[in-house]
Amino acid sequence: MTSISIPTCHGCDQLTTRSTQQARRPRIAIARSNNGHRTLWPSLRTLATQLRAIFGTCGANNRPSRQAPPHDNTSSKANILARAFGHPDGAGFIGPGADALLRGLFTEALASQSEVAQVITTRTDLDRLFGDAFDESSASAHAPRLHIMDSLEDAIEHLELEAEMVKMISASSAASSNAPAFVWLATPGPDADVVHETLRHWPDKNLLALLSGPWPYGPTHLIEQTGPRPRPNSPLPLPTPQEAIKRLTTGRR
């Protein structure tokens, strides 16, 4: 009899109820460049304008549209909102407008066929974002790029298999900087560490994890009801400790 070896999920055995939960303090992270200097994320004012131009402003009483997402493959890789808000270690979304933004990111990613290889999420997350608006016919229309999993564990198993495929392709051909993205919408809850391990083991930077709730391993974006909070028009001061002390000592603005 031939023996068949089935890959196992290295992180899924940790997806169990923990007897001791270590509280993690959510944080709003400041991005850093490769040389260690602090940098700012792309202008949230610009991103908010772009989002409203594509999806419209989401009001307090607006319900998700029952129309199928429009197919618009004209956007460039640099302009995909999932990349603008994403981070190599994942990005969290909180606030009264977080679900509306995640719904917009999901819609754009699924419509961008040439820029996004797969969109992975769970039925629970889809139900939260769309209610009954995203039905089986909508799911079938976007197969096989859309993968709707029964659980977070199933999503992680799927991504681990895809990671192996990406490694095999990279080993047999030259790596491309224009490879399409894998967009993962998830709600980590108490399993943030397992989700982060999955991100760390992905072989390139094309896995974009957009996570509902505070995220301890990367930036957490606060989204208001009308969209991302815009930055001030004036430059933001980011002084070193020495610069801050000098300003306090001299009293200069």
* Domain span including residue 168: 79-251
- Transcribe 70-87 into DSSP letters: P------GGG-HHHHH--
The per-residue pLDDT for range 72-110, each reduced to its tens digit, is 444 444 568 999 999 999 999 999 999 999 999 999 999
Q: What is the pLDDT of residue 236?
A: 84
Using CA atoms of 53, 59, 61, 62 in order, give the dihedral in degrees to the nearest 10: 10
Q: What is the pLDDT of residue 215?
A: 98
Q: What is the pLDDT of residue 22?
A: 47
For residues 228 and 212, give the distance between their C-alpha atoms in angstroms, rounded to a whole number. 15
Residue 143 belongs to a domain: yes
Q: What is the pLDDT of residue 12?
A: 55
Residue 74 belongs to a domain: no
Determine the longest span between alpha carbons in the chain, in angstroms.
83
For residues 41 and 32, give the distance between their C-alpha atoms in angstroms, rounded to a whole number. 9
Residue 28 belongs to a domain: no
The per-residue pLDDT for range 110-168, each reduced to its tens digit, is 999 999 999 999 999 999 999 999 999 999 999 999 999 999 999 999 999 999 999 99
**CATH code of the domain containing 113:** 3.40.50
Q: What is the pLDDT of residue 14?
A: 57
Residue 41 belongs to a domain: no
Query: Mean pLDDT lowest for which of 38-42, 169-173, 248-252?
Result: 38-42
Domain count, the chain: 1
Q: What is the pLDDT of residue 64?
A: 41
On whether the CB atoms of residues 198 and 205 are closer than 8 A, the answer is: no
Residue 32 pLDDT greater than 70, yes or no: no
DSSP β-bridge partners for residue 224? 227
For residues 185 and 199, give the distance between their C-alpha atoms in angstroms, rounded to a whole number. 13
- Transcribe 212-233 into DSSP letters: EB--TTS-EEEEETTEEPPPPS
Using CA atoms of 205, 163, 24, 102 in order, give the dihedral in degrees to the nearest 10: 70
For residues 44 and 229, give the distance between their C-alpha atoms in angstroms, rounded to a whole number. 7
Read off the tokens for 217: 């391993």
State the pLDDT confidence band at 10, using cuts at 50, 70 and 90.
Answer: low
Which of 104, 38, 84, 28 minimizes the C-alpha distance to 208?
Answer: 84
Residue 241 belongs to a domain: yes
For residues 251 and 249, give the distance between their C-alpha atoms in angstroms, rounded to a whole number. 6
For residues 73 and 116, give the distance between their C-alpha atoms in angstroms, rounded to a whole number. 10
Stretch 229-250: mean pLDDT: 89
Q: What is the C-alpha R_g of the chain? A: 20
